[in-house]
Amino acid sequence: MKGPSLDDRLAALLEAASLAEGRLPDAAVSAAHAVADRAGVRRGLSVDHTVAALAGATGSGKSSLFNALALTDLAVVGVTRPTTSTAQAALWDGEGAGALLDWLEVPTRHEAAGELPGLVLLDLPDHDSIELTHRLEVDRLVELVDLLVWVLDPQKYADAAVHERYLRPLARHGEVMVVVLNQIDRLPTAAVRRCLDDVRRLLAEDGLGGVPVVGLSARTGAGVEELRSLLAERVAKRRSWAERLAADVGTAAADLAAVGGGAGRATGGGDGSRASREVSREASRQVSRDVGHGANVGELAKPLNKALAEAAGVPLVVEAVGKAHRHRAVVATGWPVTRWLRRFRPDPLRRLRLGGGGDGREIVGRTSVPGASAVERSQAESAVRDVADAAARGLPGPWAAAVRHAARSRTGELPDTLDKAVATTSLGATRAPRWWKAVGLVQWALFAVMVAGALWLGGLFVMDYLRLPEPPTPTAGVGGAEMPWPTLLLLGGALAGVVIALLSRLAAGLGGRRRARKAGRALRASIAQVGREQVLEPVEEELARYDRFEKAIAQATRA
Ligand SMILES: Nc1nc2c(ncn2[C@@H]2O[C@H](COP(=O)(O)OP(=O)(O)OP(=O)(O)O)[C@@H](O)[C@H]2O)c(=O)[nH]1
Ligand SMILES: [Mg+2]
């Protein structure tokens, strides 16, 4: 099955790098950008030419092989080491390769003999040089060329220098690599085979199991033709430049994945790495399962909302809603004297500078709901932390840190936002029930009846005091007994007023509880909205970012 195209993989790498910006170490991020930049330049230069570099230790015979392939003594082959100090190029069909060599910064160019059209062969200095400039030149060009020809020799082929510094990190570049064992003329015939096998074994350990290994002698020319035809084949295909870039993309993606997780955690390109790639894919599936449990983050919304509600003083406001309702009921329906006295007590909601004073005035600035206590604040903080921890579980370290950071990113404004949410939530406490007015009127009527009775009795008392003849006082039958009307009016009016006041209080108590519950629901919904916006959304955004990173890495590594 064909994987995604180089373009798609490059785009995916760039996306992974920009998603990783600020989350993963700068070095890995900028390495990915560097690959993309390089790819942009290389594909704009001649793709009809294949740049192959001869790289190896000092004295391995790079310049000798360069000459052998060019069928001309272009390079100086020296006895003093090191000999070659700057790279030089041999060209078979140099037309159009100028810009390419300019980009490679290789000014020394020779016309070679023989048939290898399209090849640009570079003779590099020694990578293990005592001269720093040589090593820098090698490192620079090893990063840029299309095809790498490692020239080893029987003495130094197992040196750690080449395996650790170059071959292992280039484990994904097997497709664009050829290994040469030079100077086989110096080995007994039987030893050549053993030596080649040993080279292959070491390469396999480097993760480069499939790389072609050619035994040859630049001096006698044995095996040089095999290398020539191998190179000719690659050059004819004109694909090495793209394969090289693809390997670079894979390596950069794997490096990003190594620090930040993702599907491409495997670093090797050979057989040995396939198993580890499987393992890391399983691991990343595990991660996405863990991350995918958005339900778990949702679960945590509950304790978060509870803690935030407490920090915002919701229970206090809910209580005040109930109290305010009872208070206003007494003012509206109580016995007129009590009503009048009640007016001097403050309204519990107004005291918190919360709406519902009855005048529909808008709240400006902060409420007077007391700020969260230290305990409430730390409970809110730990609820935020719990959300972050649960969301970060199973994520690679840097991403886990990013998720935790996201959870806290907006919590600085939390107290203000919570307060505003409380202030702007409609508590549904403004409207006075209609029966209050009716009961209020009845109370006044009963009060008037009582006063009338009192005045009547007062009149009788004054007449009696003045020894005036007592006017006839009508009576009414109450419970079998006769009672004078003025007395009945006074006592009846007072009693009925008190009874109605008590019943109204009872009703107001129930109504207050209902309103408090309703206000609680509205407040908690507002608080949940704040929690969502200030805590859960940033966390989910970061998780989504990781998700996209993981997918981009998988695409870039051609998993
Ligand atoms: N016997 C034998 N000697 C070789 C062979 N190839 C190169 N030499 C000798 O090895 C020595 C080094 O060869 P160079 O081609 O200069 O090696 P190099 O890798 O270019 O060395 P630097 O430029 O210093 O990195 C010279 O004396 C060559 O003659 C070979 O196949 N067989
Ligand atoms: Mg040389």
DSSP β-ladder status, 119-123 and 88-91? antiparallel
Of 435, 441, 448, nearest in space to 504 by CA: 435
Look up residue 297 and give its amino acid. Answer: V
Q: In this structure, what are the phi and psi dihedrals at residue 218, rounded to the nearest 5 degrees?
A: -65, -25
Q: For residue 332, which of 319, 345, 323, 342 has the smallest C-alpha distance?
A: 342
Residues 11-55: tens digit of each pLDDT: 999 999 999 999 999 999 999 999 999 999 999 999 999 999 999
In short, whether 295's Cβ falls inside 6 Å of ligand 1 is no
- Residue 79 CB–ligand 1 contact under 6 Å: yes
Question: b or e along 213-225 (b: 16 or more beta carbons within 10 Å of the residue's beta carbon)?
Answer: bbbbbbbeeebbe
| Among the bound ligands, the one closest to the CA of 138 | 1
Residue 366 confidence (pLDDT) = 64
Q: Is the CB of 62 under 6 A from ligand 1?
A: yes
Measured from the Cα of 85, ligand 1's closest atom is: 23
Question: At residue 91, what are phi and psi to the nearest 5 degrees?
Answer: -120, 135
Nearest to 126 by CA among 176, 64, 54: 54
Find the 92 Cα to ligand 1 centroid distance in Å.
23
150 C-alpha to ligand 1 centroid (Å): 14
The 3-state secondary structure of 446-483 reads HHHHHHHHHHHHHHHHHHHHCCCCCCCCCEEEECCEEE
- Please give the Cα distance from 208 to 83 (Å, whole number): 29
Query: Is 88 near ligand 1, meaning CB less than 6 Å away?
Result: no
DSSP state of 361: P
**Which residues have CB under 8 Å from 190's CB, separation 6+?**
none
Distance 60 CA to ligand 1 centre (A): 5
Q: What is the pLDDT of residue 355?
A: 60
Asked whether 94 lines ligand 1 (CB < 6 A), one says no
Instruction: Evaluate: CB of 183 within 6 angstroms of ligand 1.
Output: yes
CB-CB contact of 138 with 166 (8 Å): no
Q: How far apart are the first and last CA of the chain?
A: 12
- Residue 416, Cβ neighbours under 10 Å: how many? 10
Q: How high is the pLDDT of residue 273?
A: 37
| CA torsion through residues 251, 252, 256, 257, sign | negative
- d(CA 322, CA 195) in angstroms, rounded, equals 92
Q: How far apart are CA 298 and CA 290, in angstroms?
A: 13
Q: Distance, CA 161 to ligand 2 centroid (Å)?
A: 18
Residue whose C-alpha is closest to residue 380's, from 296, 311, 281, 458: 311
Which tokens is 55 given? 């790289």
Q: Which two tokens stand for residue 237?
A: 């295909």
Which of 60, 62, 64, 122 gets mutated to test ligand 1 (max ligand atoms within 8 A of its CB)? 64
Query: Which residues in the chain come in under a pLDDT of 50?
Result: 264-295, 356-364
**Res 279: pLDDT:** 38
The pLDDT assigned to 300 comes to 75
CA of 189 to the centre of ligand 1 (A): 20
Measure CA 242 to chain center: 32
Q: Residue 371: what pLDDT?
A: 72
Q: Whose CA is nearest to atom 21 of ligand 1?
A: 59
